[in-house]
A and B are shown apart, each in its own frame.
Chain A
């Protein structure tokens, strides 16, 4: 089994082990690798074959790995979820804010939000808010911030769309990871349009997202079109032309370039109706 693990990873894992007193982190690596490519049954078999963890730290790594593997098995029953919750809670009781604990808290939030047959979004939001408000290691604070953003925009019991957006705009200010900031801008822009609020606000958020960059594929092409279309609706023709120019260069086969060409040639084109113009 060890022969299958790339040498670079083994060296890295060895180094991590020396530096962080993690005596046996390499043992779970192949399990995590299988999990990362959706091979959950194979991951479970691999986990069962691992030698017993010998140090306290190794046991903690093993228990976390086992909880995630267990979460990914079929059938996904409520009793399985209860069991995974217990395992994660146990990890948090030992140490509440190291990286494993934070990942566990994030997972508890996700279980409440999307795994349970009856989602408990209030409980999910509580887990996410806890991670956002308490600094700690790992990516989990920023991940939780994005999940809290989505819940605040659509699902939590907040009186008006305007209040939802005001809350979320404050999350973007506090975010540190540029990708998280970008994604919050994108989510806010989408919610503005969903609730039929002023489109020019959506344009501002998308422009900020564009400044951060990093999108690729369909999402990148869609964002260029969105900015171009919002700018066009706002009468910012130069800006619209600039973004369509980028679309033509980066995605020359995108059929949506045609509409802009028609507009620039002064030909009639279909237009958006009053019902989505936010006024």
Chain B
């Protein structure tokens, strides 16, 4: 009994001691109540768990604190799986960091919790003094002028984020294995070259008695393959149905054109893409659709796959972990210029996109140190800061004039080319995406075939597309409802307190944008109601 009691007392002491230590750590940490470190503390969060970004951020913090000894910067890297939930909880609990990486500018989080930063990005970045970017508006120092939907939010008529990097899709390959299989270290530059290598890979596998695939396979890489084969073939289709003269119809418009009877998956270009997808299935190991991205990474790192198609965000991870030197090149896709059957509908070159920059950081409205937080962002996106970022992370910069490392030049956006305006696989909405996910094995599985796939797909796709369009209309109604009180409030404030010309202009831009959104919503309703008879007189 006495021993037990003594043990209990000890436990209380241990627990109490731990509590006291924890409390002291909390109370005395820099910036806390009892700390003698009276530096201003700013915190930022992100979800980039790949190799590179965290180390780069550490280096940026070190340099920034050297330049600003009265500021302490804390990095919070939160796993991607829980990040969005974590951010929401922190924002609602008013404990969120000062700067937050956040994806998706179209929901309610941005206007509710993030501060517009137009006034900051319209001024020059002082950290660029003495460089070719000196005196330039901060936003003009970005390669895309911050004209990216995550930064400039049209419906809110304001800049909300600054971006750290730019990303693209690339081909990562194993030159040693390539040489072993083909006798050459040079990667394929055309789709036809790629198909020849595939034949050599198959012969090598049979000869060596070990399975090697052309591409590392998983649901993610398989989807990239089919999505790209369809979207690239769809460039010409989108142009042909370019009703609103924007050089190709965006995805919502393509959905309507389908319902108006102007295209389907038997349209020659898209049918060829389906055929190409079927023929590309043996590029991956059998059953790839049931595997996740980590399995594909392992397959590549173990030299069981010759190549890996993924985004440049995986570059540092692959280069760090691979026991061989990783080669990088552009992914060869079918092209008219190949003069092949596979490429006959593929316009090229295709742009890597709008050269939009990525990894946007937003300013928390509740931040007590907004100016300091923005000063940190100014530094990390200055010529010096973004160079440190690139050197340490291996990710491409977002800022103009940063001299690219030799091995990063291949990641640079190739924005000269035709633009992919619509997805034909996963962009229409969740219903059609689910149909694709469920039925693709009819196309790419061991017993799959084009007609076998079309037979089931053509039954299931049209009702799923209709549901997606209906769902998009519902979302538009919700979004419009959300905007009405806000716009009435702005107009009432004009009347009561008198807004500046700039503020009135901002409201008018939002109202214009709302009118256009409404027109698009009613167009979808008309197409849902009348299908191909849209332009006919009402009965």
Q: List the interface of chain A (C-beta within 8 A of B).
A: 9, 12-13, 16, 22, 25-26, 28-29, 32-33, 35-40, 64-65, 68-69, 71-72, 76, 99, 103, 106-107, 110, 114-115, 138-139, 143, 146-147, 149-151, 153-155, 157-161, 179, 182-183, 186-187, 190-191, 193-197, 199, 202, 214-219, 222, 225-226, 229-230, 233, 251, 253-256, 258-259, 269-273, 275-276
Cβ contacts A to B, 20 pairs, < 8 Å? A32-B492, A32-B493, A35-B486, A38-B486, A99-B495, A114-B480, A147-B515, A147-B518, A153-B519, A155-B525, A160-B537, A179-B512, A196-B243, A202-B245, A215-B512, A225-B245, A256-B246, A258-B416, A269-B347, A275-B240
**Which residues from A are CB-within-8-Å of B515?**
146-147, 149-150, 183, 187
**Which residues from B are CB-within-8-Å of A35?**
485-486, 488-489
Binds A, one of B125-133, B139-147, B214-222: B139-147
Interface contacts (Cβ under 8 Å), in number, total 204
A157–B112 touching, CB < 8 Å = no
- Beyond known contacts A29-B493, A253-B355, A258-B416: 15 more, CB 8 A cutoff: A9-B497, A12-B497, A33-B489, A71-B485, A115-B484, A138-B495, A143-B511, A183-B515, A193-B243, A194-B523, A219-B512, A255-B418, A259-B418, A269-B347, A271-B240
A255–B419 touching, CB < 8 Å = yes
**Nearest CB in chain B: distance from A240 CB, A:** 11
B525–A270 touching, CB < 8 Å = no
**Nearest CB in chain A: distance from B47 CB, A:** 25
A256–B419 touching, CB < 8 Å = yes
B497–A37 touching, CB < 8 Å = no
B496 on the interface (CB 8 Å rule)? yes
Counting chain B residues whose Cβ lies within 8 A of the other chain, the interface size class is 35 or more
B485–A29 touching, CB < 8 Å = no
Q: Which residues of chain B from 135 to 183 have a CB within 8 Å of any chain A CB? A: 143-145, 147, 152, 154
Among A22, A195, A255, which residue has its beta carbon within 8 angstroms of that of B351?
Answer: A255
Among A193, A219, A253, A276, which residue has its beta carbon within 8 angstroms of that of B354?
Answer: A253
A107–B496 touching, CB < 8 Å = no
- In the complex formed, the residue of B with least CB distance to A32 is B489
In the complex, A65 Cα to B493 Cα: how many Å?
11
A190–B244 touching, CB < 8 Å = yes
A36–B355 touching, CB < 8 Å = no
**Nearest CB in chain A: distance from B496 CB, A:** 5
**Nearest CB in chain A: distance from B244 CB, A:** 5
- In the complex formed, the residue of B with least CB distance to A42 is B112
Among B147, B498, B535, which residue has its beta carbon within 8 angstroms of that of A217?
Answer: B147
B351–A114 touching, CB < 8 Å = no
B154–A254 touching, CB < 8 Å = no
Annotate B517-539 by CB proximity to A: 1 below 8 A, 0 otherwise. 01100110110000000110110
B353 on the interface (CB 8 Å rule)? yes
**Nearest CB in chain B: distance from A219 CB, A:** 7
A273–B240 touching, CB < 8 Å = yes
A276–B243 touching, CB < 8 Å = yes
Given A38-B112, A217-B147, verify A33-B493 contact (CB < 8 Å): yes
